Amino acid sequence: MRRGLSFWLQLAFTVLVAAFLVVPVVLSMLAGVTQNYMRGLSSGVTLKWVGEVLALYQGTIGLSLLVAAATLLATLLVGVPAAWVMVRHPSRWTRAFEEIITLPVAVPGLAIALALILVYGGVREFRASWLFILVGHVLYTLPFMVRAVMAVLQSIDARTMEEGAASLGASAWQRFITVIVPNARPGILAGALMVVTLSLGEFNLTWMLHTPLTKTLPVGLADSYASMRLEIASAYTLIFFVMIIPLLVAIQIVGAGAPRSKAPRKSS
């Protein structure tokens, strides 16, 4: 089958856009393993800058992983049951609740952070701990978990499945654990992907909520670009990608291998 001129034009445009987005990232990561950025790779390859980043900013990396894991756990514990309740009992109240939890997505992160500071900033121990950042991340990422799980549950007619299990004598807890959660797995995995990546990369909200002792990876990255050599900042970028890309690939693989329920076919 011969491809027309429009196909090649679209392909060329796609390649150019991809190059425009990818090339700066690649060059930034390469700068993190060169002896001297101004001379490029001809100056030699080194891991010295990576070592300096780990020595200076290892605390920010560990804290980011801790906050992301805690955010994922919190959104799972809150988001999955909430999604099921809204699918199981649709009403104007559940629709209103859905809109309310979606507000943090529409409101700028700086505004959310300022609201949290105004309300809870007076609690000194809480304000100075990483739990303060965790609250902001949960508020920001919860809608992504809820929407992803709701979309799957609505597509497979989970209400009918749950009612069938109830007719067989299963309790509400048994129905949720053995029927709803397994069938919602694709949505849970998709929501987990979004929650973890958003938490690891969130900067605006975190920048307002952090203290000198609670810097996360993106805040440390901004600090390194502002106050360190460009090679160190680029090495920090390299570490960020080395951290997040395997995580994304692993979640994608798990999501692709997870059994997916199909919506029942209507009889003709």
Question: What's the rounded mean pLDDT across residues 222-241?
Answer: 81
**What percent of the chain has pLDDT above 90?**
14
Question: What's the rounded mean pLDDT across residues 222-243?
Answer: 81
Distance CA 81, CA 60 (A): 32
**Taking 60 as the threshold, does the pLDDT of residue 237 lie above it?**
yes
Distance CA 224, CA 213 (A): 16
Classify residue 15 as exposed, middle or buried by CB count within 10 Å of its CB (0-12, 13-18, 19+). exposed
Chain mean pLDDT for the chain: 82
Please state, in angstroms and as integers, the Cα–Cα distance from residue 209 to each residue in 26, 112, 115, 136, 203, following that order.
31, 10, 10, 8, 10
Residue at 134: amino acid letter: L
Q: Are 134 and 67 in contact (CB under 8 A)?
A: yes
Residue at 195: amino acid letter: V
Residue 197 token pair: 């990546």
Per the DSSP assignment, residues forming a β-bridge with 100 are: none
Element (H, E) at 27: helix 5-31
Query: Phi/psi zone of residue 34: left (φ > 0), alpha (ψ -120 to 50 degrees), beta?
Result: beta
Residue 36 backbone dihedrals phi, psi, to 5 degrees: -145, 120
Give per-residue pLDDT as tens, 76-110: 999 999 988 888 888 888 888 878 888 777 788 88
Give per-residue pLDDT as tens, 163-181: 788 777 778 788 888 888 8
**What percent of the chain has pLDDT above 70?**
91
Residue 225 token pair: 């670009």
Q: Are 198 and 143 in contact (CB under 8 A)?
A: no
Residue 66 has a pLDDT of 93
Element (H, E) at 44: strand 40-45
Domains of the chain with CATH codes: 24-33+41-257 (1.10.3720.10)
